[in-house]
Structure 1
């Protein structure tokens, strides 16, 4: 009986009763390292052939990644671009634009984007988000800049692992932030929900395209969640001390003669300053006026976790952001310079007030709601 390898498929000349012989022969063909084999039994005319091709159908097939197709890749680029613009705007407002209140005046926005949860090691979270979206945008665009099909495939293969890791990390971190927002702060933050929706969409798009890399995704998600938990547990004002009464940082500057004069005039107008212990702009305002001047001004703590909290009064006064100054019955938002105070005290108004439109919008919304 001779063994000859060639092309063909499994043929059982004797029917189902001899199928086991074909299976044994198929195994022998595979062991020999030849993808296709055929056996003839001399004189019998009966024929056995192995399945054609380099691999038998009995051998397990490893799924192949096809990469991001054209439409999903364009969607990824769009999501990343939108996220980059959002986080860039929030970062600019936080660092250079006088705070988040002009974009979002809800308590959730202020505490998440301008409070103790808004930074990690002194760096705004929005800046990390901006970097993440910028990286995702670059990884999405990179294969499209290839010179030919071979180069495109090479670039797609090189960026797959990075995309999966990045998308998993951003989705996991956004999920954790949503837990903090809903479970701890219990506030409403449209910008936060929008960013979480973008991160979640990006994660779903990438992970569904590279399903075979689920181990990388799970590992990255677990590491990210553990890291986020560790950071926020130890953050001042974080989860572990969410029920702890907090004091604002002490004022360390000495009041100038000008500041004392302004403070005396503010005191005569029954001025109140509304703020929160975590508000960096409130602290900056206090430092500008100095300790002696601030002793003349009635300070109202609006955070529920702050010392001597008067959060109910802040809600009643419709305080949309911190710091807020109530001077002679009128509200003025944001840090004020000495010139601003002088103008308000003389005229009762402030020219070019960037928060005036915000107050008008709040009044209009309340009128519509009623």
Structure 2
């Protein structure tokens, strides 16, 4: 005897949700954990770890994760992603903590709508960010593609399990896309602002005698400073040296949207972090103190260089390519 689902008052069969079974739920938990670890690492590096240079080897990656598109209302996007993955992990684990079969079914049913809404929002927002990355910034960011693959897989897993809730999924997706577009279109550095040539912040400090002396020595070594208009570390470096000293130094704008952009030269030089200093033919990454400049100019290097490993990786990549 064949059994059918419950019938409506008109006699038609009402589709039943199959639920998120054990294997899909475990996969969801695994994807959420991976996304949580990734976004937690990126958030830590952005807020406490001195920027993304140690995790990114391309200027495009830096512009995505450290540039004007990397935050909303001053909050890193990676922090929003971290919250989304944490919520998905919690919703995935919650039914597994039940004490009985009935409790498990009740918890599973209670989390369906939240899972559909969350998965739809994360997938839609990730899709929009991929549009910005590929269509606007036109940069390469492996961390971004990895996160997009995770959220997309989560969305497919959840929405295929709860296909009857497609109205909720579509509504959430449309609201998310509209909100994302509104934020990025109306804020500085947004999509409508992408074609606008941007100037770096004006240097407001007056150079000290020490800074002027360092600048003269740097100039004699044919020094170049590579940076981007949006880079806060670059601005901090310029402010430390002062306006008069910076006039003696050849500044190279690496962002394609910056004034007098020399992005091709930055790619040729394989700039892996901002600011980057080319002093007497050698590369040094990160903000440099007056003592750092003095040591580099006297000895041709730095005894304690936090970016030494990054330079070694770049050298190895160049050797392998040749």
CA 148–272 in structure 1, closer or farther in 2 if over 3 Å, else same: same
Contact 1:271/1:327, CA 8 A, preserved across alignment: yes
CA 50–99 in structure 1, closer or farther in 2 if over 3 Å, else same: closer
CA 52–148 in structure 1, closer or farther in 2 if over 3 Å, else same: closer
- The alpha-carbon deviation at position 53 of structure 1 amounts to 11
Across the two proteins, how many residue pairs are aligned to each other? 322
Deviates more, 1:96-105 or 1:165-174: 96-105
- The alpha-carbon deviation at position 65 of structure 1 amounts to 2.0
Deviates more, 1:197-206 or 1:234-243: 234-243
Q: Secondary structure at the match of 1:103?
A: coil
Contact 1:101/1:110, CA 8 A, preserved across alignment: yes
- The alpha-carbon deviation at position 57 of structure 1 amounts to 12
Contact 1:273/1:323, CA 8 A, preserved across alignment: yes
Contact 1:302/1:314, CA 8 A, preserved across alignment: yes
Please provide the CA RMSD for this pair. 2.5
CA 257–145 in structure 1, closer or farther in 2 if over 3 Å, else same: farther
Q: Secondary structure at the match of 1:321?
A: coil
- The alpha-carbon deviation at position 56 of structure 1 amounts to 9.5
- Structure 1 unaligned runs (5+)? 1-48
Mapped to 2, the partners of 1:171 and 1:75 lie a distance apart of 16
For residues 42-73 of structure 1, the C-alpha deviation after alignment (integer angstroms, 9 at most, x for no partner) is xxxxxxx9999996998112122232111111
Per the normalisation by structure 2, the TM-score is 0.93
- The alpha-carbon deviation at position 284 of structure 1 amounts to 1.8
- The alpha-carbon deviation at position 267 of structure 1 amounts to 2.6
Q: Runs (4+) of structure 1 moved beyond 4 Å? A: 49-58
Q: Secondary structure at the match of 2:191?
A: coil
- Structure 2 unaligned runs (5+)? none
Deviates more, 1:201-210 or 1:152-161: 152-161
For residues 251-310 of structure 1, the C-alpha deviation after alignment (integer angstroms, 9 at most, x for no partner) is 223334443333333233222111011112111211222223322322111112211122
Larger Rg: 1
Contact 2:5/2:16, CA 8 A, preserved across alignment: no
CA 231–50 in structure 1, closer or farther in 2 if over 3 Å, else same: closer
Mapped to 2, the partners of 1:123 and 1:146 lie a distance apart of 35
- The alpha-carbon deviation at position 103 of structure 1 amounts to 0.8
For residues 163-201 of structure 1, the C-alpha deviation after alignment (integer angstroms, 9 at most, x for no partner) is 111100000011111111111122211111100000000
Per the normalisation by structure 1, the TM-score is 0.81
Indicate which of 102, 110, 116 corresponds to 1:164: 116
Indicate which of 288, 294, 297 corresponds to 2:246: 294
CA 51–342 in structure 1, closer or farther in 2 if over 3 Å, else same: closer
Higher relative contact order (CA 8 A, sep 6+): 2
Q: Secondary structure at the match of 1:343?
A: helix
For residues 63-95 of structure 1, the C-alpha deviation after alignment (integer angstroms, 9 at most, x for no partner) is 222321111111111000000100111111111
CA 154–258 in structure 1, closer or farther in 2 if over 3 Å, else same: farther
- The alpha-carbon deviation at position 352 of structure 1 amounts to 3.0
Q: Secondary structure at the match of 2:226?
A: strand
Mapped to 1, the partners of 2:8 and 2:263 lie a distance apart of 73
- The alpha-carbon deviation at position 317 of structure 1 amounts to 2.2
Mapped to 2, the partners of 1:186 and 1:50 lie a distance apart of 56
Mapped to 1, the partners of 2:92 and 2:208 lie a distance apart of 55
